[in-house]
Amino acid sequence: MKNFGNENYTPENYKYVGKVNVPRKDAKDIVSGKAMFLDDYKLPRMLIAKTLRSPYAHAKIKSIDTSEAEKLNGVVAVVTYKDVDQNMKMGWPPTKPILGEELMYVGDPVAFVAAETEQIAEDALPLIKVEYEELPAVTNALDAVKDDAPQLYPDLFKNNIITPGYAPFQKDGPFWHLIKGDIDKGFEDCAFIAEDTVEFAKMAAPNAPEAPGAIVRWEGGKNFTVWCDTQSGHICKTLNNIVMPDANFDVRTFNVGGSYGNKQSQVMQVMSALILSMKTNRPVKVFQSKVEQMCCFETRLGSQVHAKIGMDKDGVIQAVKGEWTVDAGCLSNTTQGQVGVGIGEAQLVMAKCPNWDLDTNLVATNKQPAGIVRGYGGQELNSCLSLLIGRTMREGNFDPVEVYKKNYVCEGDVYTWRDGRQWQAHSVNYVKAIEESSKKFDWKGKWKGWGIPTWESEDGTLVRGVGCGIIGNADIGEDNTEAYVRVVPDLFTDKSRVVIQTNITESGMGQRSNIIKMVADVLNVDYDMVDITPPEIKINPTGFGLCGSRGTICYGHAVSSAAEDVRQKLYDLAVPFLEVTTDSMYMTDYGVATLARPGKFVSWKKLIPPDLTLTGYGQHLENFSTPNMFMIFVEVEVNKETGQVKLVDCLGGTDCGQAIDPAMLEMQVQSGIGSASLDTAIYEEHVIDPSILRTMTYDMIEYKWRPFNDFPTYETCVLESQFDTFQFKATGVGEIAGAAAASATMQAISNAIGVQVATYPATPDVILKALEKL
Amino acid sequence: MAKDTINLSVNGIDYTFSIGDNFGQVPCNETLLDTLRNRLNLTAAKKACDEGACGCCTVIKDGDAVPSCMTLLADCDGCQITTLEGLSDPVTGELSELQQKFIDYYAFQCGFCTPGIIMTTKALLDKNPHPTEEEIRDALSGNYCRCISHYHVFEAVNAIAGRPEDLDEKWEGRR
């Protein structure tokens, strides 16, 4: 490709962007077993840590005796709350000591043990003698805000309502309550109104295959090297600095075995290893068991919404009034940000609505922490609000596809984002993507109306129904990001390598390779000649990692700008050699040539002083003006005798602006079935025993998940409308692939059986109750 | 009579382990997974659920795909074990056809479950070189993948089973 300049960011000029022509950089490592994950890594003299956990949902430690555990051969340290600074608090605002005297959920850490082997550490746990005073507990957020409820943090919060606002996200002040227009008048103008309380509160588990974990090596003073299976080293550092503000963390990551937004902060893993490392002066590894991951690590947020939604006679939503109660479990892991995004995403779906009064309460309960998961609050709120939007649509007998087309955000619409500021949508319009997706799914052929099955077996036992859902997120431009792109001439050949220096951990989305594609195209070099630095926060400039779908825009923008910067420097250096102005130059064969004087060429190597390199710098500044969109269509089959729901067919539709790697994008689209998304409508849930308040779905046998032999057909419909986002005109979209899938599935189930179902998940007992057979 | 040594072959290399509780010996309750990972440094097989439910630790034992977290080393005397590391050419590193197909068809995302998925598939194909789609799905039903790479895994395995999807056609204009 020649003549690649700023004016030439068009698909026909790309050699790698938009193509399926090179494997991911780590592909060979992954299929050969060479890829390194945290649990594959060892350090000399490394100890293994295990945690003794609370058997009660709320209790006080009356006495604790660690002497027998300490005597066990191979045990190096045992620590309890007595050994830990009680000002080392996790959560936002800082809420809960890393080890406290008061225990807030079943599984809350009581003591940490570091030992020479995992077996010894495990053997030591039952030797710790603890006497507990059981305290009254509350596990439902709506109960927790009542005056007579047990108070978890009476010195900090009243009625267990966690202080709103997360300052780094909301620089103008806390944002938790959206008020716009005249809500009463708005409802007066509505022809169809639905009001109800809807819950999405089963706190499903994202359950990444690789459990959370960390290795910490104390380097003296407040300096720590951290190896963690976090999705984002930067966020891991930031959230751990809440606990220890003056700590100097060097966070390093490996390939991460799934995260789905969930394995980011990892405060308990890092801090427990840190405390033990300081105590023993040895590196300490913490790696949760699957049962710990299921019972003690962050789940999806609980979401209970009482809302009233009004729609006019044309199917345009005119008023939304609601109270959203968000169950954060035992603490807020900056959940205030998720609340802000949830409010924001609701506005994207109902973008023409001028009248809002959407209030929120973030509530602490005696449950394992809930927090950041793919969908980031928006999914949890959408799963509730969409059911009420559906009821207004049914009242008006509207086709949901037509309603979503009318209401979804497009260029010019204004919304309040999670920073509390007003943003105006720029460049995006998704009507065509909705129409094309609908057509490919044959929506018009399958949709028979509200409460009417698409198909029924002859004996009436099996019925099928279709549903659809839409969601979007403007966070795809979130957080400032920077990158360096360095040209490194070979010593003995005329070629040069290119090194991208930016902080991206690979957790499955292929983005490390995708930004290499972008840089290879900007500099017109082979993909194989571009490297990227390891994901470590000290050697790389600021990068928040791939939280949400920010990777494409934020890293794409930063690295493309850095590549352009070094390209311009090379052009400037080439002027004396080519004797033309830079505007006629282009990159070719690891050098610079010019259209003005064909045949003239100078290699980069010649332009750069011997043994040195040339570096370009690029940055992305936070911008919430280009929300993405994902629409999902589902068809389910319900057995009216057994109540079983079978997922038959799906279609995921979007307009991504420009696909960077269409094959990876296809997989991201399909991935909406996973990570506690679509199946939270069918069978995914955490079940808590109401008497002992323990999680019954504590492992991968009890917790229901979709196996290989139970997958539906899945089609994708991806448009590429070249949005004005950054150089390559792409948006990120993977995060939200499943965010509207649960509500769409509930709609499909309701249409199949002809009775509205609003209880997540729609397990057989829920279906049979709806059919009045139970 | 209890044996005090266990002989087995892993990826074509013979090993003898002494069973016992002394330093360096293998305790009788040690799993094959721990032996592979901690003693032989073969870390492709992953410890995830540790109860045979997720398939991330799958290896091939005498031709069968087994969860190595549920297999005691003490029960492997005389067995032939193959792990993912054993599929590539040990000298050149050249990938097997199956591994290459997983790359060609983008059959992974995070890659944590991939070693188990490939080994389950390998055991299936060794016994049944041309499995039906249903046979592939059933064989893999014990392998957990949360990123949802299932559709691309099906494509990769179907390609080996004799039903290749034409990638040039699928990605027309994109290759």
| Chain A residues with CB-CB distance to B84 below 8 A | 31-33
Cα of B124 to nearest chain A Cα, Å: 14
β partners of residue A317: A311
SS3 assignment for A424-492: ECCCCCCHHHHHHHHHHHCHHHHCCCCCCCCEECCCCCEEEEEEEEEECCCHHHCCCEEEEEEEEECCC
- Within an 8 Å CB–CB cutoff, is residue B87 touching chain A? yes
Q: How big is the A-B interface in CB pairs under 8 Å?
A: 169
**Among all chains, which residue has been given the structure tokens 């997706």?**
A437
Q: What is the pLDDT of residue A5?
A: 56
Q: What is the pLDDT of residues A390-444, one digit of tens each?
A: 999 999 999 999 999 999 999 999 999 999 999 999 999 999 999 999 999 999 9
Q: Which helix (H) or strand (E) holds A586?
A: strand A585-588
Provide the b/e sequence for A552-572 (b: ≥16 CB within 10 Å). Answer: bbbbbbbbbbbbbbbbebbbe
Tell me the C-alpha distance between A265 and A763, whole Å. 33
pLDDT bracket for residue A697 (50, 70, 90):
very high
- Within an 8 Å CB–CB cutoff, is residue A316 touching chain B? no
Question: From B57, which residue of chain A is nearest by alpha-carbon distance?
Answer: A209
Which CATH fold would you assign to the domain A45-135+212-287?
Answer: Aldehyde Oxidoreductase; domain 3 (3.90.1170)
Distance of CA A265 to the CA centre of its chain: 12
> Please, which residues 186-215 of chain A have a Cβ atom closer than 8 Å to chain B?
206-211
- Asked if the A6-34+479-620 domain carries CATH number 3.30.365.10, the reply is yes
Which CATH fold would you assign to the domain A302-476+625-770?
Answer: Aldehyde Oxidoreductase; domain 4 (3.30.365)
Q: What is the pLDDT of residue B3?
A: 76
**pLDDT over 60 at A1, yes or no:** no
- Below-70 pLDDT ranges, chain B: 1-2
| Nearest beta carbon to residue A30 from set B93, B111, B145 | B111
| Nearest beta carbon to residue B174 from set A20, A711, A714 | A20
Question: What domains appear along chain B, each with residue ranges and CATH number?
Answer: 5-86 (3.10.20.30), 97-170 (1.10.150.120)
Whether omega before A761 lies within 30 degrees of 0, making that bond cis, reads: yes
Query: Are B146 and A18 in contact (CB < 8 Å)?
Result: no
Query: Are B171 and A20 in contact (CB < 8 Å)?
Result: yes
Q: Which helix (H) or strand (E) holds A121?
A: helix A118-124
Tell me the C-alpha distance between A458 and A139, whole Å. 45
**pLDDT over 50 at A2, yes or no:** no
Cα of B61 to nearest chain A Cα, Å: 18
Question: From B113, which residue of chain A is nearest by alpha-carbon distance?
Answer: A209
Instruction: Give the pTM.
Output: 0.98
Domain boundaries, chain A: 6-34+479-620, 45-135+212-287, 302-476+625-770
| Chain B residues with CB-CB distance to A117 below 8 A | none
Cα of A701 to nearest chain B Cα, Å: 6
- Which residues contact residue B5 at a Cβ distance below 8 angstroms, ignoring those fewer than 6 apart? B16, B17, B18, B19
- Which residues contact residue A493 at a Cβ distance below 8 angstroms, ignoring those fewer than 6 apart? none
A211: nearest Cα among B71, B36, B50 = B50
Tell me the C-alpha distance between A562 and B58, whole Å. 43
Average pLDDT score over residue span A704-733? 97
- Within an 8 Å CB–CB cutoff, is residue B17 touching chain A? no
Q: What is the DSSP letter of A732?
A: -
Average pLDDT score over residue span A638-656? 98
| Chain B residues with CB-CB distance to A716 below 8 A | none
Cα of B6 to nearest chain A Cα, Å: 21
**pLDDT over 90 at A3, yes or no:** no
Please, are residues A307 and A196 in contact by the beta-carbon 8 Å criterion? yes
- Within an 8 Å CB–CB cutoff, is residue B103 touching chain A? yes
- Within an 8 Å CB–CB cutoff, is residue A754 touching chain B? no
SS3 assignment for A287-328: ECCHHHHHHHCCECCEEEEEEEEEECCCCCEEEEEEEEEEEC
| Nearest beta carbon to residue A18 from set B138, B145, B174 | B174
A309: nearest Cα among A383, A389, A384 = A389
pLDDT bracket for residue A4 (50, 70, 90):
low
| Chain A residues with CB-CB distance to B40 below 8 A | none
Cα of A728 to nearest chain B Cα, Å: 16
Q: What is the pLDDT of residues A736-757, one digit of tens each?
A: 999 999 999 999 999 999 999 9
Average pLDDT score over residue span A755-771? 97
Domains A6-34+479-620 and A45-135+212-287 share a fold: no
Query: Are A209 and B174 in contact (CB < 8 Å)?
Result: no
- Within an 8 Å CB–CB cutoff, is residue B61 touching chain A? no
User: Which residue type occupies B138?
Assistant: D
Q: What is the pLDDT of residues A72-126, one digit of tens each?
A: 999 999 999 999 999 999 999 999 999 999 999 999 999 999 999 999 999 999 9
Query: Are B147 and A709 in contact (CB < 8 Å)?
Result: no
Q: What is the pLDDT of residues A599-628, one digit of tens each?
A: 999 999 999 999 999 999 999 999 999 999
Q: What is the DSSP letter of A211?
A: P
- Within an 8 Å CB–CB cutoff, is residue B88 touching chain A? yes
Cα of B69 to nearest chain A Cα, Å: 13
**Residues above pLDDT 70, as percent of chain A:** 99
Q: Which helix (H) or strand (E) holds A607?
A: helix A604-607
- Within an 8 Å CB–CB cutoff, is residue B163 touching chain A? no
Query: Are B143 and A255 in contact (CB < 8 Å)?
Result: no
B115: nearest Cα among B144, B90, B80, B137 = B144
Query: Are A33 and B85 in contact (CB < 8 Å)?
Result: yes
Q: What is the pLDDT of residues A540-573, one digit of tens each?
A: 999 999 999 999 999 999 999 999 999 999 999 9
Tell me the C-alpha distance between A660 and A718, whole Å. 12
- Within an 8 Å CB–CB cutoff, is residue B158 touching chain A? no
Q: Report the residue of B21, B137, B147, B172 to disrupt the A interface, i.e. the one with the largest count of A CBs within 10 Å.
A: B147
β partners of residue A200: A303
What average pLDDT does the structure give for chain A?
A: 97
| Chain A residues with CB-CB distance to B33 below 8 A | none
Q: Report the residue of A30, A34, A295, A504 to disrupt the B interface, i.e. the one with the largest count of B CBs within 10 Å.
A: A30
